[in-house]
Amino acid sequence: MSAPKITELQPGTEAVLVAIEGDRQLVERLGEIGFVQGETIVFHRRLVFNGPLILEVRGVPVALRAEEACCLQVRVTRT
């Protein structure tokens, strides 16, 4: 079974990135911002109307759409 995607989890979860899979450009950009394997991320909240997710990586909150966040496969460390 593959690791859960961050979008399948509840806000407030803290997790470690285990894999990032998706469109090449997107994965590259996510990496440049700090979303790489082994990184701890915090899922702060989901914006209204199923809007972007607010994820914190390396101390910075980043807004990204669910379509992008789908790339992020994680292992939950704290709920």
Partner 1 sequence: MNFLVNDSSCHSNPKSTDNTAAHDFVALVGSPNCGKTTLFNRLTGMSASVVNYPGATVDYMVAPLNKAWGTGLKIVDTPGTYSLFPKSPEELVAVKVLFETPHLGIPRAVICVADCTQLSRHLFLLRQLKEAGFPVILALTMGDLAEKEGFKIDPVRLSEALGVPVVPVDGRSGKGIPELLTTAEQLGGTTIPKPLTTWTFEKQWKELQTIASVSSLVRLTVPRTDAESPRQLTRRVDRVVLHPIFGILFFGLIMGGLFSSVFWLASPIMEIISVGFDEAARWVTGFAPDSLWADLAGNGLVVSLGAVMVFTPQIFILFVVISLLEDSGYLARAASLVDKPLSKIGLNGRSFVPLLSGFACAIPAMMAARTIPSRKERFLTLLIIPLMSCSARLPVFALLLGFLFWGKPAWQPGLALAGLYFLSLLFGAIVAALLRKRLKIEEKSFFILELPVYRRPNWRAVLKSSHQKTLNYVLEAGPVIFTLAVLLWAATTFPKYDAPTPAEKLEQSFAAKAGRFIDPLMEPLGGDWRTGVALISAFAAREVFVSALAVVFRVPEEDENSASLLGRMQQAQAKDGTPLFTVASIWGLIIFFMIALQCMATVAVARREFGNWKFPLAQLVGFNVLAYALAAGVVQTLKAIGIN
Query: At closest approach, how far in Å is the CB of 15 from partner 1?
Result: 17
Residues β-bridged to residue 53: 46, 64
Examine residue 47 and tell whether it contacts partner 1 (CB under 8 A).
yes
Which of 8, 61, 75, 77 touches partner 1 by CB under 8 A? Answer: 61
- Give the residue among 7, 26, 6 at the shortest CA–CA distance from 15: 6
Catalogue the long-range contacts made by 31-36 (C-beta closer than 8 Å, 24 or more residues apart).
33/57, 33/60, 33/62, 34/58, 34/60, 35/72
Which of 28, 75, 77, 79 touches partner 1 by CB under 8 A? Answer: 28
Binding site for partner 1 (CB under 8 A): 23, 25-34, 36-38, 44-45, 47-52, 54, 58-65, 67-68
